[in-house]
């Protein structure tokens, strides 16, 4: 029988967010060599004792499952690490929760491996735990780069992310109010209104800025097509573990204008030309205007994104994931 891998995800299919996308994709990437399933919590039934290893997404939100695994698999180990256990760290884990939350901190101690989703993430770990770190870039299929001429067509920008504090939608609202209709810059905003106050701000912005549209939550495939057709993706987050939408834009030939935070730099590289300081709507607007007025600058962003695209190939992610799980299975044995 194939070794059993349980993937614990605090978000399941109905959430349609990054955690679910990761869990669903990893199940498919593992299924050739392992028996994999996705659960919201562990143990999840009478057969859970057959599981060989666990991949737990989110140190804080999956903390009860992480603790249950350690108690079941290493009952005599007070502080870990527990065999066969990997904890996958999100942006809120790395840049907020592990600093103050005792359950998140416990998950770090119990994990045999700490999985990080971009190359700057190990810097956020406590120094004694960095030896347990494995960086696995997430992946997405490559899409055809569409012919785009922002200098003649104007700029069509899209921002993707549910409306919540971590995604900093206020930066896009402020940018929309700085843009004049004559600038030929159109902003589409995709994401469910998880925060009612931010949803109200989106509606208020749309009411006074005809070039801004809040489209609400959309199906993943629809969102990918909109990213592919856009001239640029705006990614304004205050914290990220390794954003799906960044790699989806890069692998669709759509340059990214991103906040200069560790999670974005770890995806796009330190020398990327499309950064703005977090929360700085004026610089974001200046970058949008430069994309429109300077074909050379727009081409530079395209070439820099194209150079990063191989990091996000399904083959690279599968190889790294299989190596991780093989190591966990061997240690559990």
Domain boundaries, the chain: 4-138+313-332, 150-312
Q: Give the helix, strand, coil percentages of the chain, each rounded to 5.
A: 50, 15, 35
Residue 195 to residues 107, 244, 284: CA-CA distances in angstroms? 28, 21, 23
1 class by beta-carbon count within 10 Å (0-12 exposed, 13-18 middle, 19+ buried): exposed
φ/ψ of residue 147, rounded to 5: -70, 120
Q: What is the CATH number of domain 4-138+313-332?
A: 3.40.50
**CATH for 150-312, among 3.30.930.10, 2.60.120.260, 3.40.50.620, 3.40.50.2000?**
3.40.50.2000
pLDDT tens-place values along the chain, 333 residues long: 899 999 999 877 665 667 888 899 999 999 989 999 999 999 998 788 899 999 999 999 999 999 999 999 887 766 679 999 999 998 889 999 999 999 999 999 999 999 999 999 999 999 999 999 999 999 999 999 998 877 677 899 999 999 999 999 999 999 999 999 888 999 999 999 999 999 999 999 999 999 999 999 999 899 999 999 999 999 999 999 889 999 999 999 999 999 999 999 999 999 999 999 999 999 999 999 999 999 999 999 999 999 999 999 999 999 999 999 999 999 887
Q: Would 4-138+313-332 and 150-312 be classified into the same CATH topology? A: yes
Q: Which residues contact 27 (CB under 8 A, 6 or more apart)?
A: 7, 36, 37, 38
Six token digits for residue 207: 């009411």
> What residues contact residue 209 under an 8 Å CB cut-off, 6+ apart?
176, 177, 179, 187
């Amino acid at each position: 029988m194939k070794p059993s891998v349980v993937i614990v995800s605090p978000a399941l299919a109905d959430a349609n967010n990054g955690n679910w996308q990761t869990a669903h994709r990893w199940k498919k990437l593992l299924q050739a060599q392992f028996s994999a399933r996705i659960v919201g919590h562990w143990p999840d039934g009478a057969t859970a004792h057959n599981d060989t290893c666990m991949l737990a997404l989110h140190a804080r939100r999956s903390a009860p499952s992480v603790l249950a695994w350690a108690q079941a698999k290493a009952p005599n180990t007070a502080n870990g690490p527990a065999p066969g256990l990997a904890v996958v760290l999100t942006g809120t884990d790395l840049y907020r929760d592990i600093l103050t939350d005792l359950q998140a901190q416990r998950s770090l101690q119990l994990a045999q491996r700490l999985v990080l989703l971009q190359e700057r993430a190990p810097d956020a770990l406590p120094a004694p735990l960095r030896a347990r770190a494995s960086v696995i870039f997430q992946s997405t299929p490559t899409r055809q780069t569409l012919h785009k001429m922002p200098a003649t067509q104007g700029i069509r920008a899209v921002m993707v992310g549910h409306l919540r504090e971590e995604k900093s939608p206020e930066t896009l609202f402020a940018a929309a109010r700085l843009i004049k209709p004559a600038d030929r810059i159109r902003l589409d905003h995709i994401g469910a209104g998880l925060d009612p106050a931010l949803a109200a701000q989106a509606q208020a912005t749309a009411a006074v800025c005809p070039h801004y549209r809040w489209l609400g939550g959309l199906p993943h495939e629809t969102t990918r097509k909109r990213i592919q057709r856009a001239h640029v993706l705006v990614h304004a987050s205050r914290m990220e573990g390794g954003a799906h939408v960044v790699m989806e834009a890069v692998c669709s030939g759509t340059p990214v204008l991103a906040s200069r935070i560790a999670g974005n730099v770890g995806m796009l590289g330190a020398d990327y030309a499309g950064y703005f300081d977090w929360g700085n709507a004026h610089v974001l607007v200046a970058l949008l205007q430069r994309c429109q007025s300077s074909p050379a600058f727009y081409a530079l962003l395209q070439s820099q994104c194209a150079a990063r695209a191989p990091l996000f190939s399904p083959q690279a992610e599968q190889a790294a994931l299989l190596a991780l799980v093989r190591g966990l299975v061997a240690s559990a044995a």
